[in-house]
């Protein structure tokens, strides 16, 4: 279901300018350049900004390295005060920042607000973390010796983020890195430069309010070449990069070649298993949001539905009926649930995937069409699509960043788990079942091989309290909660001898 409610370019650009002004960014006074912000709502330009030069990158890394020498010695709870202030400002400006997310990334209002809430939540988490950067004390085999570990700030963290979560992923990294005592240099997606300006303005204000060193965070706007400079510069201790598998294949080896650290959050090809013991009402709700939410442009979006053969026909019919009722249109319009794809390239990938799926024997159950093309010729709205597949072919193995749900059937749970695991990516997965044995097996070592394995909930919508990330081609990185903070720090093992003797470990005698 689609509605012709596309705003004009002047309306969108004017709204962006007004919102940015409230956040402390003077867009009218910004230098013009080749970093172009286009709204996926109508495909037209919101603003043009200047790209960061090579000299700017070098200056930023020099000042970030110098600031690190000061920031690392600030007590962690005082570093937490800065992040607390950032959380307060995010709370105060939640609606405005969410509006920018909608304008630049095309998210509907509730999802944009949810993304900003993730930022607020990670600030809360990081403030608590600032008093819990715990090490361990271990028993020493030598008398009157103490064996322990301590955690220290790592250095400059380079953060490279993607368009689909233009603010939350930055906050996941930045809040934790700052509390850990690191400085941050951020290269956002060139698709979403305005949200980056807004986040930086709020953090700059928090830095001033907290009397912290100004250079502990720097924004670098630009294309791939800017990110490559972060990847290759030895002054960047950790590169945290979110994006495609192709991007990760380039970044990982280059950072490793200089013995730096990388934290990679790459592709997802997420599956839900629906058992014959599932609560289908629950399953339908979870599947529809996971597959159609954000127009299928989350790394955790549901792409594969693996359903027991005995209930496949009923379940697919119910999901298809729900799809037909989804309001598609401008994410600024009340009631819209499915907004636009981010740009034309995403639409072309959507078309190509459907053509390949059909050539492989797939059948489109519902969707598959572009809508609103007459009212928004430069924007790309599509119907969320269900395709039944005879088997898991190569197109199903590839991640298409669009609302395509491939349906496969199974006879035994072992078969379903094998299908779940038989793709190169390993981010998110889920099972819907009321059978505890099935649920426990799915979460066991013999079950899902993904970094996220859910029961009776969809693949998307992770909370910040748990570590977020995946295995295999997803990159192995972990961000946000749990003990992900350790990736932003270095560990030292300490042995203290408080005796008057010098016994050696393992009973070695060297007298």
Q: DSSP letter for 401, please.
A: S
Q: What is the Cα 346 distance to its own chain's centre?
A: 18
Cα dihedral: 17, 18, 23, 24 (round 10): 70
Cα dihedral: 470, 385, 100, 51 (round 10): 70
What is the C-alpha to C-alpha distance for residues 212 and 208, in angstroms, rounded to an integer?
Answer: 6
Q: What is the Cα 341 distance to its own chain's centre?
A: 17
What is the C-alpha to C-alpha distance for residues 278 and 368, in angstroms, rounded to an integer?
Answer: 28
Q: Which of 265, 438, 473, 479 is catalytic?
A: 265
Tokens 């037909």 locate to 324
What is the C-alpha to C-alpha distance for residues 479 and 175, in angstroms, rounded to an integer?
Answer: 11
Nearest to 294 by CA among 256, 328, 246, 257: 328
CA distances in angstroms from 117 to 96, 121, 318, 331, 377, listed in the order given:
12, 6, 31, 18, 33
CB 406 within 8 Å of CB 304: yes
Nearest to 248 by CA among 441, 474, 407: 474
Residues 122, 103, 125: CA angle, nearest 5 degrees: 0
- Residue 265: active-site member: yes
CB 159 within 8 Å of CB 187: yes
Q: What would the 3-class secondary structure string for 453-498 be?
A: EEECCCCCCCCCCCEECCEECCCCCCEECCCHHHHHEEEEEEEEEC
Please give the helix or strand (H or E) that residue 113 lies within, else none: helix 109-129
What is the C-alpha to C-alpha distance for residues 206 and 7, in angstroms, rounded to an integer?
Answer: 34
> Which are the contacts of 365, defined by CB distance < 8 A and separation ≥ 6?
316, 320, 386, 387, 388, 407
Q: Which residues are catalytic?
A: 265
């Amino acid at each position: 279901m689609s509605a012709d409610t596309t705003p004009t370019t002047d309306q969108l650009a004017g709204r962006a300018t007004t919102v940015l002004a409230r956040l402390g960014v003077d867009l009218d006074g910004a230098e013009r350049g080749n970093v172009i912000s286009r709204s996926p709502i109508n495909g037209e330009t919101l603003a043009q900004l200047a790209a960061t030069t090579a000299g700017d990158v070098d200056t930023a890394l020099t000042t970030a390295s110098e600031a690190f020498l000061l920031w690392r010695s600030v007590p962690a709870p005082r570093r937490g005060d800065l992040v607390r202030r950032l959380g307060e400002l995010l709370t105060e400006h939640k609606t405005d920042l969410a509006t920018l997310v909608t304008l630049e990334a095309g998210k509907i209002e509730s999802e944009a607000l949810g993304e900003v809430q993730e930022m607020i939540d990670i600030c809360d988490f990081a403030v608590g973390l600032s008093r819990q950067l715990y090490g361990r004390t271990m028993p020493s085999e030598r008398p009157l010796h103490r064996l322990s570990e301590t955690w220290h700030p790592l250095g400059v963290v380079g953060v490279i983020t993607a368009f689909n979560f233009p603010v939350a992923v930055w906050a996941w990294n930045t809040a934790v890195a700052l509390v850990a005592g690191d400085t941050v240099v951020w290269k956002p997606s060139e698709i979403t430069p305005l949200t980056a300006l807004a986040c930086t303005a709020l953090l700059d204000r928090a830095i001033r309010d907290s009397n912290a060193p100004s250079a502990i965070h720097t924004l670098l706007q630009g294309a791939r070449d800017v990110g490559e400079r972060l990847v290759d510069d030895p002054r960047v201790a950790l590169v945290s990069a979110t994006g495609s598998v192709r991007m990760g294949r380039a970044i990982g080896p280059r950072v490793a070649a200089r013995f730096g650290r990388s934290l990679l959050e790459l592709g997802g090809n997420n599956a839900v298993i629906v058992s014959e013991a599932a609560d289908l009402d629950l399953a339908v709700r979870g599947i529809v949001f996971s597959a159609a939410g954000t127009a299928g442009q989350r790394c955790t979006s549901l792409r594969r539905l693996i359903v027991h053969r005995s209930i496949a026909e009923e379940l697919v019919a119910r999901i298809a009926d729900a799809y037909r009722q989804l309001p598609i249109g401008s994410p600024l319009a009340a009631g819209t649930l499915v907004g636009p794809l981010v740009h034309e390239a995403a639409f072309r990938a959507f078309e190509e995937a459907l053509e390949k799926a059909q050539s492989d024997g797939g059948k489109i159950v519902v969707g598959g069409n572009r809508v609103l093309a007459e009212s928004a010729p430069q924007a790309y709205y599509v119907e969320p699509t269900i395709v039944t597949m005879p088997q898991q072919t190569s197109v199903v193995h590839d991640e298409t960043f669009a609302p395509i749900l491939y349906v496969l059937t199974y006879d035994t749970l072992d078969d379903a788990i094998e299908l779940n695991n038989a793709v190169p990516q390993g981010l998110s997965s889920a099972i819907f079942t009321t059978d505890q044995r099935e649920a426990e097996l799915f979460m066991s070592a013999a079950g899902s091989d993904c970094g996220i394995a859910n029961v009776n909930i969809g693949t998307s919508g992770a909370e910040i309290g748990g570590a977020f990330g995946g295995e295999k081609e997803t990159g192995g990185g972990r961000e946000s909660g749990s003990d992900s903070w350790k990736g932003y720090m270095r560990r030292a093992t300490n042995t203290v001898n408080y005796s008057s003797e010098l016994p050696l470990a393992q009973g070695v005698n060297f007298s």
